[in-house]
Amino acid sequence: MKSVILVGSTGSIGTQTLEVIRRYNEEFSVLGLACYSNVDLLNKQIKEFNPKYVCIVDKSKRDMLISGNYKLVDTIDELSDIDADITLNAVVGISGLNVTLNVLKRGGSLALANKESMVTGGQLINANRDKYFGKILPVDSEHSAIFQCLNFEKPTCEVHKLILTASGGAFRDYSLEQLKNVTAKDALKHPNWSMGQKITIDCATMMNKGLEVLEAMYLYDLPQEQVDIVIHKQSIVHSMVEFVDGAVLAQLGYPSMIVPIQLALTFPNRKYSGTEYLDFSKITELNFAKPDFTRFPVLKIALDVAKVQGIMPIVMNGCNEVLVDRFLKGQINYLEIAYYLEKVLNKFENNRIESVEQILEVDNLARAMTTKLMR
Ligand code: NAD
Ligand code: MG
């Protein structure tokens, strides 16, 4: 039986992870559960999965937790120090950084959904993974697709390019004129995937694909030039690997996060997932197009950041987290996201990353600068 610690259990990835564990409950035991503040759902999960450790970050909700045979852990960082066979990081934002680092520092297996930790701490994360022989199993569907196309191995010099597919988000077909008036409510209507709010907004600006390019660069140790993006509106091809001889391998399936989540848990084995099998007779077309930087300037900004790396991905991520929050609250409009990202990035000089403390400091500075400029 594999023990699982699930950080971010009440979210979109978290609840789907528990669906997998529920289906294969004779193979997995839930060792730990953590969330930010959704105590009602966490209580239901505690009842059903009987974890040994529980963490709720919002202290004001602690006395609402049901009693049980578990130990209350103060922080998600502490929870991730506990030895589990697999720790799945499904937290949103840079708050997941220490979870990712801690699991690798104890040489553990990390199922990684929290892309923001890879974007901000990639170099440090890889150094720790290699030093302590930790393992990262990608949960993000594109990165899982690549992992599968690479036959679960690291890329060799035979890999020419990784090709990430992008649905294009809620505003894929909007004109620049239309984009002036879109709201968070419009952005939350994603055509193909049902996800948490932050990532859904990131899809609508295409920041998500920018973050995923950085995530792929660090996961697969490749420069930005070897990670391409193609718009693929059906979300059937989840990503591809092009080899030096011109052969391209792709992973296909109907859009479902259950498949990559389950594979990260059952790796190296595959199991029935309950996901509908592809019916090729019903797929009349698969379209591919270049991303449009004029309508999606945020993606261009993110790719420029990916080229230079250093502290710039941290600045961009911190600034973006603040901007997405403001956009969700209706305090800034859609086009201002690109505007402020550019402005904040221009205030920073690039530098090397030496430590996790420095990452968190740069993140704080970027957030403060964003807030200051928006006044
Ligand atoms: P979500 O908002 O639905 O859930 C986030 C979870 O993290 C919740 O359980 C919440 O309580 C917890 N959380 C939030 N802030 C926290 C904090 N500061 N400390 C501790 N816990 C906190 O988000 P999601 O859509 O499930 O996404 C989670 C991560 O997975 C993100 O990094 C996202 O980019 C990535 N991801 C999501 C999907 C998807 O389909 N939802 C796909 C690929 C990658
Ligand atoms: Mg993805």
User: Which DSSP category does 339 fall into?
Assistant: H
CB 89 less than 6 A from any atom of ligand 1: no
Q: What is the pLDDT of residue 193?
A: 75
| 219 in Cβ contact with 136 (< 8 Å) | yes
Q: Which atom of ligand 1 is nearest to the CA of 10?
A: 9
**Tokens for 96?**
């997941």
Calculate how far, in angstroms, residue 165's C-alpha sits from the geometric centre of ligand 2: 9
Identify which ligand lies nearest to the alpha carbon of 257. Answer: 1
Neighbours of ion ligand 2 (CB under 5 A): 140-142
- Please report, rounded to a whole number, the percentage of residues in the chain having pLDDT higher than 90: 98
Pocket probe mutation, ligand 1, options 75, 140, 195, max atoms within 8 Å of Cβ:
195
CB 242 less than 6 A from any atom of ligand 1: no
Q: Which atom of ligand 1 is nearest to the CA of 13?
A: 26
CB 140 less than 6 A from any atom of ligand 1: yes
Mean pLDDT of all residues in 153-159? 93
Calculate how far, in angstroms, residue 12's C-alpha sits from the geometric centre of ligand 1: 7
Largest CA distance in the chain: 61
Identify which ligand lies nearest to the alpha carbon of 169. Answer: 2
- Name the residue at shortest CA distance from atom 39 of ligand 1: 195
| 306 in Cβ contact with 224 (< 8 Å) | yes
Instruction: Please name which of 70, 115, 60 lies closest in space to residue 91, comparing C-alpha atoms.
Output: 115
CB 97 less than 6 A from any atom of ligand 1: no
| 263 in Cβ contact with 271 (< 8 Å) | no
Identify which ligand lies nearest to the alpha carbon of 38. Answer: 1
| 198 in Cβ contact with 208 (< 8 Å) | no
Q: Taking the model in full, what pTM does it have? A: 0.98
Query: Per residue in 52-70, pLDDT tens?
Result: 999 999 999 999 999 999 9
Q: What is the pLDDT of residue 143?
A: 98
CB 13 less than 6 A from any atom of ligand 1: yes
Calpha distance 56→164 (Å, rounded): 35
Is residue 100 very low, low, confident or very high in pLDDT (cuts 50, 70, 90)? very high
| 91 in Cβ contact with 99 (< 8 Å) | yes
Calculate how far, in angstroms, residue 142's C-alpha sits from the geometric centre of ligand 2: 5
Calculate how far, in angstroms, residue 164's C-alpha sits from the geometric centre of ligand 2: 9
CB 321 less than 6 A from any atom of ligand 1: no
Calculate how far, in angstroms, residue 319's C-alpha sits from the geometric centre of ligand 2: 20
Q: What is the pLDDT of residue 211?
A: 98
- Name the residue at shortest CA distance from atom 12 of ligand 1: 8
Please name the helix (run of DSSP H) or strand (run of DSSP E) that holds residue 146, with its range, or none.
helix 141-149
Instruction: Please name which of 302, 308, 149, 157 lies closest in space to residue 221, comparing C-alpha atoms.
Output: 157
Query: Per residue in 321-347, pLDDT tens?
Result: 999 999 999 999 999 999 999 999 999
Q: What is the pLDDT of residue 17?
A: 98
* Nearest-10 crossing angle of helices 141-149, 207-220: 40
